[in-house]
Amino acid sequence: MTTDAPSRAGLSPASEAELGELIAERHATRQPLRITGGGSRVETGALSGDTLSTAAISGVVTYEPGEMTLIARAGTPLDEIQAMLAAEGQSLAFEPADMRGVLGGNGTSTIGGVVAANASGPRRMLVGACRDHLLGLRFVDGRGRVLKNGGRVMKNVTGLDLGKLLCGAHGTLGVLTEVALKTLPILPDRCALGFHGVTVDEAAQIFARALATPYEVSGAAFRDGTAWLRVEGLGPQMGYRRDRLLALLQPREAEVLDAEATLSLWRGLRDLDHFAGTATPLWRVLVKPSLAPSTVRALQALGGAVSVDWGGGLIWYCGPGPAQEVRQIARHATLVRRGGLAGPAFAPEAPAVTRLSLGLRRVFDPAGILNPGLMDQ
């Protein structure tokens, strides 16, 4: 299962068994496949092979609110899962983004696409990434074998955690058919603190001080000259943490948003609403938070706009800067929206990582039929 990518007419197996037979045939003839989910997540460029969609392998297998575990087939729409969890007062705590607005698409994000991309939103810095909430999975490898790893509960095990490999592999190691995820309660109250008229350096200082406290800041983002902090929890203790942060960050004045306004603000930050409605290239840049200010300034010098998330660990750059110059500034830069730019979407790997990646692909997809060349697109 890859990220939810633009789909062409192609193959749509209705079951895991049918998918295994199809891939086994393609393995024997070395015919490539272009794996898609619901057609909503990234622009991967031109890939060879027939399109294979997992959208028909859909449905919730089991959901146990008391145990906070969910098992769903890969093609299950993310909206359907989120609505079901919300009805029980729970959610996917890593809050995956809805990329349809910023990519101008109308596809349906699937849970398989979320896991394949390791899609993780603003709360990642507090609760971890998608892969940290993945309990287990089932997938079909490049030989057509159905493989299973993990289970329904968190426990210490020995051996290879295939979930960590498949989560974020974008379908190059296997096609996901089923995922088991940990769910968490929705925190009942929230607020946002906005520090207006600050530079990126000042925002970095605010983030560093706030995130060094025990007050469990669940969001730290910078956009349009404002540094935002989010605090979530039960009313009284959330209010205490809010007040302690305000006292810590004096004499800076802060705007305090209520729960509804905070929810709206962070949904927009998560889904990159500020970069929607344009075809300008959009880059996702991972850096050390301490390097965020200098990286932002260098990207701004290329022209365009920048926003920051994860307390400085994630930078979004929307601008015309040539790919070579962007990657000279930021090694870990992924081209999410091409906007006419050619070349690789994913950042080049270090030689040692490349050798390891190729070795894994030879094990799981020896014929090289699953999204061949994706990491070079």
- Per-residue pLDDT tens over the stretch 7-23: 344 799 999 999 999 99
pLDDT, position 342:
84
- Per-residue pLDDT tens over the stretch 27-38: 999 999 999 876
Band (205; pLDDT cuts 50, 70, 90): very high
Question: What is the C-alpha end-to-end distance of the chain, expressed in Å?
Answer: 17
CA distance 224 to 307: 7
Band (301; pLDDT cuts 50, 70, 90): very high
- Per-residue pLDDT tens over the stretch 303-352: 999 999 999 999 999 999 899 999 999 999 999 999 989 888 888 888 99
Please compute the mean of the pLDDT values over residues 44-69 and round it to a whole number: 89
- What angle separates helix 200-211 from helix 292-300, to the nearest 10 degrees? 160
Give the rounded distance of the alpha carbon of 250 from its chain centre. 34
Q: Is residue 219 classed exposed, middle or buried when 0-12, 13-18 and 19+ CB atoms within 10 A define those classes? A: buried
pLDDT at 5 over 80: no
Please tell me the least confidently modeled range out of 101-110, 212-221, 281-290.
Answer: 101-110
Please compute the mean of the pLDDT values over residues 272-297 and round it to a whole number: 96
CA distance 267 to 260: 11
- Tokens at 132, concatenated: 């940290």
Is pTM beyond 0.85 here?
A: yes
Average pLDDT taken over every residue of the chain: 91
- Tokens at 35, concatenated: 């794996």
pLDDT, position 349:
85
CA distance 74 to 174: 12
Select from 116, 104, 200, 165 the least CA-distant residue to 364.
165
Amino acid identity of 184? Answer: L
Residues 108 and 55 sit within 8 Å (Cβ to Cβ) = yes
Select from 292, 323, 139, 328 the least CA-distant residue to 208.
292
**Residue 347 vs residue 275, higher pLDDT:** 275
Please compute the mean of the pLDDT values over residues 182-211 and round it to a whole number: 97
Q: Is residue 260 classed exposed, middle or buried when 0-12, 13-18 and 19+ CB atoms within 10 A define those classes? A: exposed
Band (106; pLDDT cuts 50, 70, 90): confident
Neighbouring C-alpha atoms within 13 Å toward the C-beta of 98: 14
Backbone phi and psi for residue 184, each to the nearest 5 degrees, phi listed first = -140, 155
Select from 286, 289, 269 the least CA-distant residue to 121.
269
Residues 121 and 230 sit within 8 Å (Cβ to Cβ) = no
pLDDT, position 44:
58
CB count within 10 Å of CB 118 equals 21
